[in-house]
Amino acid sequence: MKKNLCFVMGLSVMLVMAFAATAAAQRTVGGEVAKNAAAYFAEFPADGNVIRPDMLFSKITGGEDVFIIDVRRPADYAKGHLKGAVNLSFFDRSVSDALEMIPNDKPVFVYCYTGQAAAQVTVLLNLAGKAAKSVQSGFDNGVSKTDGHAALLEQTANPLPDKAYPVADDDLKLAVKLYFMGKEARNNTEFANYNLSAATLKGFVDAKNPDYLIVSARRADDYAKGHIPTARNIPFGRGMETGLAALPKDKTIVVYCYTGQTAGQTMAVLRMMGYEAYSMSGGMNAWAKEGFETVAD
């Protein structure tokens, strides 16, 4: 029993130290990274850097020169993935390790399981000069539910290009590396992959925990109809950088949207701006499914 207690205490200390180290390192990354991250939404495209699966299918069948990244776990990639897709798992440091092997001269499309992890990767790649978009609803809820997907699947593993695509900004490269190191440090915690559950957030709301600030990235009209208590509204899309920059740096920010995809992008931008930020998994759909309270304006 004593040994187990010592092990748990030791693990807790290591996790705290890892969190502190990555957070401190992120704060020391050049100010240009934070500035560029804040500018992500300044000239945001109308499609929100998201593509429907059927639109991606048309590009594949039409022979367009695109680069596809599957960020699921290797075992799931091996079972079947979109033709030509390269596996760079979100669940380790594959994306940061391969950053300079990802093309910057062609469209890049990223998919995961449900869209939330791909949303984070999409932000990081765009900041690194890659024209990336995430595939709406991921493989499980998007790709595999779209007509014609079976004909576009393969099991053959695809290699990364043998050409380098350098990222000129060393601070940005470091920031991406630290992003994945910080994510890795949170594995086996309630904040794994920079996400937290609706139940965890409900606990913070009920406890009136002053350390957390909740942001709804949903449309203003939907926010007015019903939102999580205490949440402030910063609708997702072009121009939201002004609202994000006004958030206090001494709070932990939790972002939610409808299903988690746009919150994933928002949260990644906030983290690259130097905030301690997380996304609520499943968005408002998950909160409503649990039957948790909402308030209306």
Strand pairing category for 212-216 and 132-135: unpaired
Q: What is the mean pLDDT of residues 226-246?
A: 97
| Mean per-residue pLDDT over the chain, rounded | 91
Q: Where are the alpha helices (DSSP H) in the chain?
A: 2-28, 31-38, 53-61, 74-79, 94-97, 116-127, 170-185, 198-206, 220-225, 241-245, 261-272, 283-289
**Spacing of C-alpha 6 from chain mean position:** 34
**What's the Cα-to-Cα distance from 232 to each of 113, 217, 220, 224, rounded to whole Å?**
28, 9, 10, 11
Please tell me the distance from the alpha carbon of residue 250 to that of residue 231, in angstroms, as a whole number: 17
pLDDT digits (tens, 9 = 90+) for 133-185: 999 999 999 999 999 999 999 999 999 999 999 999 999 999 999 999 999 99
Q: What is the mean pLDDT of residues 17-35?
A: 58
User: Which range has the worst mean pLDDT, 2-16, 257-271, 273-287?
Assistant: 2-16
Please tell me the distance from the alpha carbon of residue 217 to that of residue 115, in angstroms, as a whole number: 16
Residues spanned by the domain of 272 = 189-289
Q: Do 242 and 204 touch, CB atoms closer than 8 A?
A: no
Greatest Cα-to-Cα distance within the chain, rounded to the nearest angstrom: 64
| Phi, psi dihedrals of residue 63, rounded to the nearest 5° | 75, 20
> What is the band of 5 on the pLDDT scale with cuts at 50, 70, 90?
very low
Sheet holding 108-111, edge to edge: 50-51, 132-135, 108-111, 67-70, 86-87
Does 14 reside within a domain?
no
The CATH number for 157's domain is 3.40.250.10
Q: Which residues lie closer than 8 Å to 267 by C-beta, 6 or more apart?
A: 120, 194, 253, 255, 277, 278, 279
Same-domain pairing of 147 and 57: yes
Which sign does the torsion angle of CA 257, 260, 262, 265 carry?
positive
In this predicted structure, the answer to whether residue 18 has a pLDDT above a threshold of 50 is no
Does 267 reside within a domain?
yes
Percent of the chain whose pLDDT exceeds 70: 90
Q: What is the mean pLDDT of residues 66-73?
A: 98
> What is the band of 31 on the pLDDT scale with cuts at 50, 70, 90?
confident
270: how many CB neighbours lie within 10 A of its CB?
24
Percent of the chain whose pLDDT exceeds 90: 88
Q: What is the mean pLDDT of residues 80-87?
A: 98
User: Which range has the worst mean pLDDT, 13-22, 221-230, 242-251, 288-297?
Assistant: 13-22
And the tokens for 249?
Answer: 């740096």
Same-domain pairing of 118 and 231: no
In this predicted structure, the answer to whether residue 10 has a pLDDT above a threshold of 90 is no
Does 296 reside within a domain?
no
Residue 30 confidence (pLDDT): 62
In this predicted structure, the answer to whether residue 14 has a pLDDT above a threshold of 90 is no
Please tell me the distance from the alpha carbon of residue 248 to that of residue 263, in angstroms, as a whole number: 18
Please tell me the distance from the alpha carbon of residue 31 to that of residue 50, in angstroms, as a whole number: 27
Q: Provide the number of structural domains found in the chain.
A: 2
Residue 103 confidence (pLDDT): 98
In this predicted structure, the answer to whether residue 32 has a pLDDT above a threshold of 90 is no
In this predicted structure, the answer to whether residue 24 has a pLDDT above a threshold of 60 is no
Same-domain pairing of 166 and 277: no
In this predicted structure, the answer to whether residue 95 has a pLDDT above a threshold of 90 is yes
Same-domain pairing of 193 and 125: no
Same-domain pairing of 209 and 285: yes
76-82-85 Cα angle (round to 5): 85
Residue type, 286: A
> What is the band of 218 on the pLDDT scale with cuts at 50, 70, 90?
very high
Q: Do 149 and 136 touch, CB atoms closer than 8 A?
A: no
In this predicted structure, the answer to whether residue 2 has a pLDDT above a threshold of 60 is no
Same-domain pairing of 224 and 145: no
Decide which of 142, 170, 198 is a domain's last residue.
Answer: 170
pLDDT digits (tens, 9 = 90+) for 98-137: 999 999 999 999 999 999 999 999 999 999 999 999 999 9
Same-domain pairing of 165 and 230: no
Element (H, E) at 213: strand 212-216
Tell me which of 16 and 126 has the higher pLDDT.
126
Decide which of 141, 170, 199 is a domain's last residue.
Answer: 170
Same-domain pairing of 209 and 260: yes
pLDDT digits (tens, 9 = 90+) for 184-216: 999 899 999 999 999 999 999 999 999 999 999
